[in-house]
Structure 1
Amino acid sequence: MTEVLLEKPFDFVALLRINRPEAKNALNGEVRRQMAGHMAALGDDPAVRVIVMTGNQEAFAAGADIKDMAEVGAIELMQRNNHLLWRAIANCPKPVIAAVNGYAWGGGCELVMHADIIVAGENASFSQPEVKVGIMPGAGGTQRLTRAVGKFKAMLMLMTGQPVSGTEAGQMGLASLVVPDGEVLDKALEIARTISRMPPVAIAQIKEVLLAGQDASLDAALLLERKAFQLLFASADQKEGMKAFIEKRKPTYEGK
């Protein structure tokens, strides 16, 4: 079985589906490797402008595969270099949208937080339950969660392991948008299609500057923004966009 399915639902949009329904889409090594490989390839593919990742109605991903970890030693775990697989997702230059139904627990929640936009079902379930099996998050859960929801909400989730619903995640800032469960993927693809029609160079600069500026001083972040803004005036897409606006027509962006 292919653990991660690749689909092309629209022009310029790629859809990645985690495909381990028998294990509630738990993230074993093969899922991580395939997801990292797809992200690297799609990030380099000019025919792809937006990536959506999802699971199924029961689970986005119900955590790491505990059977794959229970007896492993510290050195073997270190030598697996799983952080390099996660880095391939974090470093993807294209916008990544997570469409979340059901469980997004442990590594699944961490994978969701690698996305740029999160569309959650009202009854989705977000959790970092690692403490319940004697460990802690190891793929960004303590860091990305804190940046998303703040210290006090993060501490509560991390130290109790208790889940929050999709509705609660939206209220906390852990989801961009919360919709009825049956509309999650459609809404994520709608957003992806909208973004895919925007100028790719500008979208890439928005993502790069936002992420680079998060942990910089305000002055440094504003400098990054200003230089990226100026750079975009060298693009053909800027000329096309402004010309189309003046001529009252829809622009056609080529990513140049």
Structure 2
Amino acid sequence: MADTTRQVEKVLLSLPSPGARSPEQRAEAAAAKDTARALRTRFLDAHADAVYDGLTDGRTRSLKIAELVEAAAAAFPGLVPTAAQLASERSRPQADKEGHEIDQGIFLRAVLGSPSAGPHLMDAMLRPTPSALRLLPEFTRTGVVDTGSVRLERRDGAAHLTMCRDDCLNAEDDRQVDDMETAVDLALLDPQVRVGVLRGGEMTHPRYRGKRVFSAGINLKSLHAGGISLVGFLLRRELGYIHKLVRGVLSEDDGTGTWHTRGTEKPWVAAVDTFAIGGGMQLLLVFDHVLAASDAYFSLPAAREGIVPGAGNFRLGRHTGPRISRQVILQGRRIWATEPDARLLVDEVVEPGDMDSAVERAVERLSAPAVPANRTMLNLAEEPPEEFRRYMAEFALQQALRLYGEDVIQKVGRFGGGAS
């Protein structure tokens, strides 16, 4: 493995940077990479469990994905890219990267696809973040935490998460994902919180100045600049805070009464003002109650962007049926809150001025003691963990491949100044 990797690196070093290569040089680089990737795939098909057990001391240690790929780079040279290779990639725009993240995708598809290693890694991703554990005493005492991109406030037993990236219409990047996971963890860990609420804040963007916006999806400007990573954004987002919205945060049994549950789950309300595009629409599919302003709309422009819309392909059809999910994902259909089909995505459509009171009513309904147990059982029935794990295994590779598709690089170049 290491020898093959060195041969590939020798080929790549003999060529111009990726963005400056001729068609013939791109073909030469692709052929060298394909040889190594075929070898990695065969190795992992046979040894993924042994590799994972070695990295986690027989599954006695919980490593999150970023920690796991770092450990794999050190323990198994050539299996995944090194820290130096990834650091070099991060300094380049997307069009000028070698695509080393594809090798991470090969590795993570094998690990997540394993019936033994996969669930262990999924559990590791449900552990609370160090930043949340650090901020928890402050939040339980004051009821307020502001991370810059997310403001978290506890009011009357509800944790209100407000996305505050007013500069980019709440388009998500690595920073937003990090802050969202911290905020979700705090809401789940605080015993004074019964229900979580997610809403977009007021914008300063000239077109939407003074208006609330839920989310414009992935930050295409960051993607164009090379700032959207497979591990730190795309996989952490799905297996981190979004999965925690579904399953809760996983805690250790400390012998004081946590024996009856693997973690802490709570019901969630989403309030959509103006629009929920891309990743914003994906979020709605995991909430227990979705409110939408009467002038709002929803879309998943995956075909335009050229990437896979997270777990949207896994979840959307369960809400809308296969025909509408194909119209939305494959053909870019936009659904307005007032359309009949929108009732498959939202629970209530309210006038913009009535959103605050609608949120209060939803929180009150979801505060009943039996709600958490029933939502747990609903989620087990509607989204079986093993099905989600198998989906995410294939997503890890397919999304990595799409990140480096020629069509994606061209499209994000055109959308480089904005978000979607």
Task: Determine if the TM-score, normalized by the shorter chain, exceeds 0.5.
Answer: yes
SS of residue paired to 1:23 = coil
Report the structure, 1 or 2, having the larger helix content: 2
Aligned to 1:59: 213
Q: Is the counterpart of residue 165 in structure 1 residue 321 in structure 2? A: no
Answer whether contact 1:131 1:161 (CA < 8 A) is retained: yes
Q: Measure how far apart 1:130 and its partner are.
A: 2.0
Q: 1:170·1:176 contact (CA, 8 Å) conserved in 2?
A: no
Q: What's the offset of the Cα at 1:8?
A: 2.2
Code of the residue aligned with 2:327 in structure 1: it is L
| Aligned residue type for 1:123 | D
Flag the 1:120–1:87 CA change in 2: closer, same or farther, 3 A.
same
Look up the equivalent residue of 2:188 and give its one-letter code: G
In the alignment, which of 149, 164, 173 is matched to residue 3 of structure 1? Answer: 149
Separation in structure 2 between the aligned mates of residue 66 and residue 167 of structure 1, nearest angstrom: 28
1:202-228 per-position Cα deviation (integer Å, ceiling 9, x unaligned): 221111011112257xxxxxxxxxxxx
Aligned letter for 1:49? R
For residues 36-87 of structure 1, the C-alpha deviation after alignment (integer angstroms, 9 at most, x for no partner) is 112122212210000110003442001111122235499x524654233232
Q: Distance in 2 between matches of 1:7 and 1:49?
A: 13
Structure 2: 5+ residue stretches without partners: 1-146, 202-210, 249-264, 385-420
Measure the CA separation in 2 of the matches of 1:65 and 1:169. Answer: 30
> What is the distance in 1 between the residues matched to 2:175 and 2:305?
22
12-21 or 179-188: bigger deviation: 179-188
Partner of 1:12: 157
User: What CA distance in whole angstroms lies between the structure 1 residues aligned with 2:212 and 2:382?
Assistant: 33
Residue 195 (structure 2) aligns with: 50
- 1:150 matched to 2:321: yes
Q: What does 1:30-179 correspond to in 2, within 5 Å?
A: 30-56=175-201, 57-70=211-224, 72=226, 76-78=229-231, 80=233, 81-82=235-236, 83-85=238-240, 86-92=242-248, 93-138=265-310, 140-168=311-339, 171-179=342-350
TM-score by length of structure 2 reads 0.47
Out of 373, 378, 399, the residue aligned to residue 210 of structure 1 is 378
Q: Is the 8 A contact 1:126 1:169 kept in 2?
A: no
Aligned residues: 210
Question: Aligned-pair distance for 1:147?
Answer: 0.8
Superposition RMSD in Å:
2.2
Unpaired stretches in structure 1, ≥5 consecutive residues = 217-256
SS at match of 1:132: helix
The letter of the residue matching 1:84 is L
Which amino acid letter does the alignment assign opposite residue 90 of structure 1?
Answer: V
Distance 1:34 1:158, change over 3 A: same
Instruction: Give % identity.
Output: 29
Q: Normalization by structure 1: what TM-score? A: 0.75
Q: Give, in whole Å, the separation in 1 of the partners of 2:373 and 2:191.
A: 15
- Structure 1's 39 and 120: CA in aligned 2 closer, same or farther, altered over 3 A? same
Cα drift, residue 169 of structure 1? 6.6
